[in-house]
Structure 1
Amino acid sequence: MKRFINGVAMCAILTGVTAAPLYAQETPTKKSEEAGTITVTAQRREQSAQDVGIALSVVSSEELKARGITRINDLQEAVPALQIEPAFGGGQPQFRLRGVGFQDYASNNAPTVGVYVNQIAYPVPIMTQGLIFDVSRVEVLRGPQGTLYGRNTTGGAINFITNQPTDDFHVGSSFEYGRFHAFTGEAYVSGPITDGVTFRVAGAAQMGGAYQHNRDTGESLGDADRIGTRALLKIAPSGTRLTVLLDGHYGRDKSEATGLYLLNSLTQADGAGTIPADTDRFATGWGVSPQLVADTDLKSNSKPGVNNRTWGTSANVSYDFGGVTLASITAYDWLHREQFADWDSSASIEADTYFRSIVKVFAEEVQLRNSNPGPLTWVAGLYYSKQNLDEQYFSDFIDLYGTYARVTYAQKVESISGYGQAEYQIAPRLKATAGLRYEYEKRTLDGFGSAFGGATALPPTTVDTSMKPLTGKVELQYEPSRDLMLYVSASKGVKSGGFTTYNTGSESGISPFAPEKLYAYEAGFKSEPFPWMRFNASAYYYDYRDQQVLSAIWSTTTNSAVGHFVNAPKSRVLGGEVELDLEPVKGLTINQYLGYTEGKYIEFYDLDVAASRAALAAVYTDKSHQAIPFPKLTWGGSVAYEVPAGDYVVTPSASFSYRSKYPSWLGSTYDIGAYFVVNANLTLAPKDERWSVSVWGRNIFNEAYDLTRNFFTSADIAQPARPVSYGVRFGIKY
């Protein structure tokens, strides 16, 4: 209750700073009122989404609220071909887009999908797990991003664009309360300070929501305890061509973990007996050993969860010299992470883990672009980034193996690149785009050391790896009519190489793996055949080289298999998406998407761990032409109908998401079955939209499905998705 009151109080304080009830809309987000145009910044400048020859999805602030999306992981229910899997149920997100993904529960490696907030890259995946709030829109770009963006990626990019300071005074808030005592509150205030200077301050809090329980004690698990704030200051003096946007943000997360349940019975190694497989998917278990208590800030009765803090600041400065604009984007972000997880889902100490991490990222980008309309549009820039990760990783196997493992290391990543892209209107209906990027990156794993049971297994060891990729894109766009745009493109993206930082006593276990490269070939169209219809489609073929795959290598030093990322020399992925937006009658909107992806290895000889152990030598198996495991089909959409009722508008709406079977490379036990989730809302608001009241339901048919399945040592475990939930939401703005 205390945390609930604190969350309400924080949002109320932000709301209450207003002095006069002056009504104004929030910053325009999805569509302009005149033309219904979706504006995006996918190519680092404002354009209509229909003019961009990239397969992309835009999720508006309204859709985020309607679907209850408060964290990045939930975006997979609103975007085709996107998957964000929580490794072992929490902490590290594993991104996959169009089948291009990377499965890793460690913190140090780069993702295949870049995440950006107001053009600032979050290159370490655990940095992306804060609250989503005061967001204008989210742009999800599918396909390699090897030209314009700060971090080179093979899968795509997710861009968060927050609401900006406004010239008129604005204030607003929303509060939501639902099943399991789940509370979410958000508030903002925005307006002028003086001529040419505006500000925006926003905050959010999330509390409660535990839907799991300890199978032995009945104690609940899963309460959220998150807050986030952001302050923006925009300086654009009248009569000048200077624009400065300063950003400061802070987040704190003391949430309990989402627990894991047992897929099969667990015979506890400490002799305490056998725990049957959980028939109740929301049952779980945990325990804390004296060793973890001694090494950390945990207590003997601590629940699995996190204690994370983040803060950051950035300055985006631009000056228009008349035809050419020079921009500088400087950013610094910091994260302190502590996470306790129980991966055996029991009081037995067989797979308990603890991460303590500090992440520091500095980035500087200088960009030059033309700002006058004409047949040629271009942008060029330099990007520099330096990131430091200091991490301790404890694994407690005391009841299973009689040992306790400690891993300590630092990682430094330094990257510098130059890029350029130009678009030229060859003819009134034909446009060509070409871009290049050259990058140098060096990664150093500094002082990686491990110990088992207090004895040194691997003394501090330093290894490094580097890459110098040349990537880019060429594209042709043709408009046979005002309402139809066709495009074809070829592009190349690269994902950094890295290090496997798991428990190991072998130096070969931390040997670097190589970067992966992806050559993408895509064709598509974007159309508006009628004023009430928008219909887009794309098809693609990916030539995947040196795909990074979690497997094992054979250590001749220890004569054993060692968990390690390896590179599959050649793979291919192909598929397509369709997106349809309809407004057949006034007030009725229908949105649908469908995505299909399939992939297979073309050339890949992988270590056969069981056969190698039996032979005491490396034995390989041919996985060529085997399928790459990921869901093939994603389907989703929404429908809403605004019904006038006197001075009010009643809006019933619903959304759904389907995902096909997710086969696991670990075997059929860990396959995640197909699922279909439906959400519903009913909203009442006056025509001036000053306030709104909604009742909502999520997963209204109580679909039972899992978000991840895995095993670490002795237990087969899964993380259950949230069951049916329902609640109310109230919003007000002036």
Structure 2
Amino acid sequence: MFRYQYEKCRSGHRIGMASTLETILLPMSALAQTETVSGKSVAHAAATHIAPAKHTGKLRSPNRQAQTSESIVVSSRRGVSGAGQHEAHSETVLSRQELLNRNIRTLTDIVRVAPNLIIQPSFGSAALNFAIRGVGLMDFTQNNMPSVMPYVDGVAYPISIMTSGLLFDMDDVSIAPGPSGFTHGQATTGGEIDFHTGDPTPQFHAGLTEDYSSYNRNRVEGFVSGPLSRSVSFRIAGQSMTGGGFQHNARGAKYGNADLGALRGKLKWQIDDTSRLEVGGHWTTDQSESASGHNMYNTYHVPVTSDLVETEWGLDPRFAKIIGINPDNKKPREDNMFWGANVRYTKEYSWARLSTISAYETVDEHELTNQTNSILAYGNMFRNNQSNVFSQEIKLESIKPSARFHWEAGLYYSRSRMAQSFWYDSSDRPNTTPLNKTSYSENQQNFNQYVQLSYAVLPKLRLISAFNHESDDRQMLNATNAIYNLNTGAVVGTPTNFGNSGALTNQFAGRVGAQYQATRNIMAYVMISRGFKPDGFSANIMQTAAQIKPFKPEQVLSYEGGFKAMLFDRRLRFNASGFYYDYRDQQQWNTVLVPPPFGVLGGYVNAPRSYIYGAEFDMEAHPFRGLVLTQNFGYEYGAYSQFQSYNRAAMTTHFAATGVWTPIATNYAGYSMGLPNLTLSGAATYTWKVMKDYQMTFDADYSYRGAQTQPQYIGQTGMYRAPDYFLLNSFLTFSAPKQHWSVTVYGQNLADRRYWISSSTQATFYGVTPGLPRFVGGRINLNY
């Protein structure tokens, strides 16, 4: 019998809990495919959550051996992974193999395999909005901190567009719900999504994957990793993604093709047995066609069809001339570049571990969108965004997390600078100025101090406590609106300068909890946390000074309890949790009313009181040799306790009948938030040997998502509520583990279900963003 030992050690624990490196036993049947993890060709179990125990600092431990190495040997004994089973959290972890099996090629694909997760495009933009358990901010204006923070190898990405082109050469992705910022980074209310990219390896390895599918979607991904000397190693990875445009217009022209390229590099210097220096950098260019929607409704008698993948676009040549783009190419499109660099240093003493991360990230965004999804030149918007973020973190923690008393403390600092302007064609609104340019600068500075302690009061009972203090200072400077004459391109009159506005958040947050290790394989926990998120600005088509008034910070008081169990001689893992959120001053993108003739616009408001509750579980079973079953379940329900706001649907209907924008408010106390109440996903994967050195793997998996209503349409049904949908997927892989290659054929959305993943409104147009139709493709993977 061989042994399977996972030695990939990471520092810190989400609850400061003493989690030891366990011996993980897996069956021969679990060797579904051979893939490269951290550059080393290893056998992975085709199961949902096989990944190392997660941490929150994302500052990995300098293991006495090479930190990224994995010593993996295989056992003939069947069993599930025990990673993370002794930690008091409900985090979902997706391994490299799972990301490959489920064909997770973009961030929006992750929602198919994680419970109570929402990732949606923002109003035709490449920027994405994240929400976990109903807590998330739709950041249309791209100038506010998200409620769910993305991290890449421990570096925060506070501007949502930064995540473009990110998902390649990933070791794992984890989704952690609830208030955070107690062990690293910035304080948030909704949680975080952590991306751990492939690390340099002490031996030479390389890999190449070619993936081609329907609609000429082509993705090429590769990496090279290995030593430069005895103490220095490197890794270079990249991807190219083109095609895939499944939308069309009424004249048959295709739309939605990707054109994206990305490179990432890492250099690691193991200075000595106790210290390590790492330098990383990345670069992404995105020339894709912008996300576009299907027009569901308008008051201008623009034709509407029932074909969800049909879209329209138009570009006024006068608009194109003013902003300096080619009017012949009328398709909405991206012209974005992102790059960043970071330096990490880790030093291990006999009593503590010191870790630091310094990072610099930039955004250069030029984005043309059609907000009305119409052939008419209505709602054209051009965004010009130059932003940069510098962050510095230093963390110190006790060297032995398994000790009776464990502590960790740190300081996090970030500073961002943004210069943003966007032009908006409002000629669809009668009697309005046809072209507005809104511009401003925004400076931000954040300082978070955190401490977390855990103490084993009894051999099986550990108490946990943490607190943080965060100061977030934001200033909007020189907020200006200029009106243009579309025919001449000249500014009409004098631009209006609304001046400056400031927002300062200074708050404490904390949590207390306990976990009880009833047996070696059964653990229960409870956790009470209070989190907050800073305030910010709407910055959307400014018409009055009131529009730059900051919205308030939000707070969440979270109650969570759960258990984790491995049963039947480790053939079954079953984890479950329940939660209740007391939500105060919930930030959401909703409806604001400005003086006629503009009427309704989008803007951020605060819902004074609301609540969310729900439950989650995940299961992995190995009933017999070769078969792995996984299942995820998520349920959530949210409602407002106190909230009075404008009724956008009623105001739009009144305007269509009278031509006058009239304020119509509704008391939404008791109304549902419109969250997708039920999310399900599961898979059955079976592997068998073919001849001596080959094997086949067959998989069938599904995902289900309940109906959802956007915050602008609280209480609405019909076309304003995205219906539920069920997706069925499958793949078949023929592989040669000893020869390091595999060939896969796959199908996504095999039933060709038509559904939409988000919706948006602009004036009296309402559109939805369709999900992927049926894709059938093939993939070749080579590893050395």
Pair in the same fold by TM > 0.5? yes
Give 2:520's aligned residue.
Answer: 482
Give 1:699's aligned residue.
Answer: 749
2:543 and 2:594 in contact (8 A); partners too: no
SS of aligned partner of 1:450: strand
How big is the shift at 1:220? Answer: 1.4
1:24 and 1:170 in contact (8 A); partners too: no
Output aligned runs, 1:469-508, within 5 Å.
Answer: 469-508=507-546
1:645 aligns with 2:686: no
Give 1:263's aligned residue.
Answer: 296
* CA distance, structure 2, for counterparts of residue 559 and residue 200 of structure 1: 53
How big is the shift at 1:648? Answer: 0.7
- Say if 1:266 and 1:173 are closer, same or farther in 2 by CA, change over 3 A: farther
Letter in 2 for 1:514: K
How big is the shift at 1:214? Answer: 2.5
How big is the shift at 1:188? Answer: 0.6
Number of matched residues?
A: 703
SS of aligned partner of 2:709: coil
* CA distance, structure 1, for counterparts of residue 579 and residue 121 of structure 2: 27
1:293 aligns with 2:320: yes
Structure 2 residue aligned with 1:38, among 51, 65, 69?
51
SS of aligned partner of 1:291: helix
Per-residue Cα deviation, 1:408-458 (whole angstroms, up to 9, x for no partner): 011111011111111212111011111111111101111111123334563
Structure 2 residue aligned with 1:278, among 291, 305, 308?
305
Letter in 2 for 1:663: T
How big is the shift at 1:620? Answer: 4.5
How big is the shift at 1:206? Answer: 0.4
Per-residue Cα deviation, 1:25-60 (whole angstroms, up to 9, x for no partner): 533799999x99731333336793112111110111
Letter in 2 for 1:108: N
Give 2:733's aligned residue.
Answer: 683
1:24 and 1:169 in contact (8 A); partners too: no
Q: TM (normalized to structure 2)? A: 0.86
Letter in 2 for 1:244: L
* CA distance, structure 1, for counterparts of residue 41 and residue 362 of structure 2: 29
SS of aligned partner of 1:497: coil
Give 1:9's aligned residue.
Answer: none
2:731 and 2:744 in contact (8 A); partners too: yes
Structure 2 residue aligned with 1:334, among 338, 345, 362?
362
How big is the shift at 1:489? Answer: 0.4
1:320 aligns with 2:370: no
How big is the shift at 1:714? Answer: 3.2
Give 1:209's aligned residue.
Answer: 244
Of residues 91-100 and 408-417 in structure 1, the stretch that sits farther from structure 2 once superposed is 91-100
Give 2:97's aligned residue.
Answer: 62
Give 1:254's aligned residue.
Answer: 287
Task: State the superposition RMSD in angstroms.
Answer: 2.5
* CA distance, structure 2, for counterparts of residue 489 and residue 588 of structure 1: 35
Letter in 2 for 1:304: P
* CA distance, structure 1, for counterparts of residue 157 and residue 309 of structure 2: 32
Give 2:460's aligned residue.
Answer: 429
Give 2:112's aligned residue.
Answer: 77
Letter in 1 for 2:129: Q
Letter in 1 for 2:738: D
SS of aligned partner of 1:109: coil
SS of aligned partner of 1:420: strand
Give 2:488's aligned residue.
Answer: none
SS of aligned partner of 2:271: coil
Per-residue Cα deviation, 1:570-590 (whole angstroms, up to 9, x for no partner): 111100101001111122111
SS of aligned partner of 2:708: coil
SS of aligned partner of 1:685: strand
Aligned-pair identity in percent equals 30
2:260 and 2:284 in contact (8 A); partners too: yes
How big is the shift at 1:560? Answer: 6.7
* CA distance, structure 1, for counterparts of residue 221 and residue 662 of structure 2: 58
Give 2:164's aligned residue.
Answer: 129
Give 2:218's aligned residue.
Answer: 183
- Say if 1:320 and 1:31 are closer, same or farther in 2 by CA, change over 3 A: farther
Q: TM (normalized to structure 1)? A: 0.91
- Say if 1:684 and 1:288 are closer, same or farther in 2 by CA, change over 3 A: same
1:713 aligns with 2:763: yes
1:458 and 1:506 in contact (8 A); partners too: no
SS of aligned partner of 1:51: coil
- Say if 1:219 and 1:673 are closer, same or farther in 2 by CA, change over 3 A: same
1:532 aligns with 2:537: no
* CA distance, structure 2, for counterparts of residue 56 and residue 284 of structure 1: 38
2:242 and 2:260 in contact (8 A); partners too: yes
Give 2:75's aligned residue.
Answer: none
Give 1:385's aligned residue.
Answer: 414
Letter in 2 for 1:466: L
SS of aligned partner of 1:550: strand
- Say if 1:173 and 1:718 are closer, same or farther in 2 by CA, change over 3 A: same
Give 2:674's aligned residue.
Answer: 629
- Say if 1:100 and 1:689 are closer, same or farther in 2 by CA, change over 3 A: farther
* CA distance, structure 1, for counterparts of residue 627 and residue 35 of structure 2: 24
How big is the shift at 1:281? Answer: 2.2
- Say if 1:469 and 1:69 are closer, same or farther in 2 by CA, change over 3 A: same
Give 1:200's aligned residue.
Answer: 235
* CA distance, structure 2, for counterparts of residue 640 and residue 87 of structure 1: 35
* CA distance, structure 2, for counterparts of residue 605 and residue 333 of structure 1: 39
* CA distance, structure 2, for counterparts of residue 339 and residue 558 of structure 1: 27
Give 2:723's aligned residue.
Answer: 673
* CA distance, structure 2, for counterparts of residue 399 and residue 619 of structure 1: 22
How big is the shift at 1:226? Answer: 0.7
Per-residue Cα deviation, 1:530-575 (whole angstroms, up to 9, x for no partner): 2111100000110101111333456699997664322111111100
2:544 and 2:594 in contact (8 A); partners too: yes
* CA distance, structure 2, for counterparts of residue 145 and residue 178 of structure 1: 39
Of residues 164-173 and 122-131 in structure 1, the stretch that sits farther from structure 2 once superposed is 122-131
Of residues 537-546 and 350-359 in structure 1, the stretch that sits farther from structure 2 once superposed is 350-359
How big is the shift at 1:398? Answer: 2.9
How big is the shift at 1:358? Answer: 0.9
How big is the shift at 1:684? Answer: 0.3
1:42 and 1:139 in contact (8 A); partners too: no
Give 1:448's aligned residue.
Answer: 479
Per-residue Cα deviation, 1:195-222 (whole angstroms, up to 9, x for no partner): 1111111111101111112223x22111
Give 1:565's aligned residue.
Answer: 604
Output aligned runs, 1:11-22, within 5 Å.
Answer: none
1:26 aligns with 2:37: yes
SS of aligned partner of 2:546: helix
1:727 aligns with 2:761: no
SS of aligned partner of 2:319: helix
* CA distance, structure 2, for counterparts of residue 521 and residue 431 of structure 1: 18
- Say if 1:529 and 1:29 are closer, same or farther in 2 by CA, change over 3 A: farther
1:350 and 1:714 in contact (8 A); partners too: no
- Say if 1:285 and 1:154 are closer, same or farther in 2 by CA, change over 3 A: same
Give 1:94's aligned residue.
Answer: 129
Structure 2 residue aligned with 1:409, among 440, 457, 482?
440
How big is the shift at 1:617? Answer: 9.1
* CA distance, structure 2, for counterparts of residue 346 and residue 507 of structure 1: 31
2:51 and 2:95 in contact (8 A); partners too: no
